[in-house]
């Protein structure tokens, strides 16, 4: 049980850390998020 909680906690920590790094990198180099652009284009096409 403690091992499972440790795995879940480390996974959540890793995902948050990765998200923070991606946001910082994207804003630092000025490269737009192509996945976000593609998602918005798909949503516009559906409407």
Q: Where are the domains of the chain?
A: 1-46
Measured CA to CA, the distance from residue 34 to residue 37 in angstroms comes to 5
What pLDDT does 26 receive? 58
- The DSSP code sequence of 1-47 is -HHHHHHHHHHHHHHHHHHHHHHHHHHHHT---HHHHHHHHHHHHH-
pLDDT band at 42 (very low <50, low <70, confident <90, very high): very high
pTM: 0.49
pLDDT in tens, 9-29: 999 999 998 888 776 655 556
């Amino acid at each position: 049980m403690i091992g499972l909680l440790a795995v879940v906690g480390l996974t959540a920590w890793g995902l948050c850390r990765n998200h923070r790094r991606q946001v910082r990198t994207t804003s630092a180099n000025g490269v737009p998020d192509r996945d976000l652009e593609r998602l918005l284009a798909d949503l516009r096409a559906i409407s």
